[in-house]
Amino acid sequence: MSDDGQHGLSIIAFVGSVFSPYYALARRVQGGVADPENFCALNVALYGKGAKRWTMTERGRQHIQRSAHHYTIGPSSLHWNGQELTIDIDEINVPWPKRVRGRVTVRPEGLCRFVTALDNDGRHRWGPIAPCSRVQVEMDNPHLSWRGHAYIDSNEGDEPVEKAFWDWDWARAEMANGDTSVVYDVRPKKGPGRVVAQRFSPDGSYTPFEAPARYALPSTAWRIKRAMCSERDVAPELLSTLEDTPFYARSLLKTRLLGEDLTAVHESLDVPRVASWPVRLMLPWKMPRRVW
């Protein structure tokens, strides 16, 4: 999010796109196993007045290159030099074709080694790589420039996401002293629900805290259920819905955690919706695949 609160940006670099209908079809045809490097994408979502964009063009192995410090996906790339992550974006907005081009530079204040399982079998893991960071956004198309607070994390799994989960809510918020609080509220298919609540400091250290009571938020236009925790019997307040899809929602909300009133970036995922055939038939309109 920008420091003035007027702009937002989400970037997800996929190796084996968890939402890909093409990846799901390949696994079905090939007996449950397919090469994840053949289903890669750079998802870019820009928010702000006059600057909303969405890209997620999927590409196969012939269009990518990967190493420990560099990841090329078609004309876009990510590069880590030991101090900062540079993301060069050259994509096309969907469904209405518009160029999305620019550079995003993320400078971590410290790196974090926290990793935890999200399911009860340990087959799906989440770890914030740099939960306290600064971002510089310089876009040519659309033309905009801003700086703000940023966050980098990683998710990985040993099986398709629909095998392990019903749904989850995730939220992160910047604290007054520069720390970042994160709540991951997960409903696995096996065993009890899991709530991971951690406070991360700029030096990479982290401290668990007990997540307060969970409150239901208004459902989205696609009827995606949302929920968030908050202290002192003060229900969270939904500020805006940034992304509203048949299976996923990204929102801004106000809540109270660790004695502070915070503005949080919040995400909700309905996993059975992801795996449903109606949704998978709709997804190519938002997630085209480059085959040449």
Task: Tell me which residue range forms the domain holding 16.
Answer: 8-290
Whether 1 maps to a domain, the answer reads no
| Amino acid code (one letter) for 55 | T
Determine the average pLDDT of the residues in 65-75: 97
Mean pLDDT of the chain: 96
Query: Does the pLDDT of residue 102 top 90, yes or no?
Result: yes
SS3 percent helix, strand, coil of the chain, rounded to 5, is 10, 55, 35
Whether 146 maps to a domain, the answer reads yes
**Contacts with 209 (C-beta within 8 Å, 6 or more apart), sequence order:** 181, 197, 198, 199, 257, 258
| pLDDT value of residue 249 | 98
Q: How many CA atoms lie within 13 A of 161 on its CB side?
A: 26
Question: Other CB atoms closer than 10 Å to residue 103's CB: what's the count?
Answer: 14
The 10s digit of each residue's pLDDT in 215-242 is 999 999 999 999 999 998 889 999 999 9
Give the distance between the most distant pair of CA atoms in the chain. Answer: 56
Determine the average pLDDT of the residues in 192-214: 97
Query: Does the pLDDT of residue 83 top 90, yes or no?
Result: yes
Whether 231 maps to a domain, the answer reads yes
What CA–CA distance (Å, rounded) separates 99 from 92?
5
DSSP 191: S
Whether 140 maps to a domain, the answer reads yes
61 dihedral zone (left: phi>0; alpha: psi -120 to 50; beta): alpha
The 10s digit of each residue's pLDDT in 13-60 is 999 999 999 999 999 999 999 999 999 999 999 999 889 999 999 999
- Domains contained in the chain, number: 1
| pLDDT value of residue 291 | 75
Whether 27 maps to a domain, the answer reads yes
Whether 29 maps to a domain, the answer reads yes
Query: Does the pLDDT of residue 292 top 80, yes or no?
Result: no
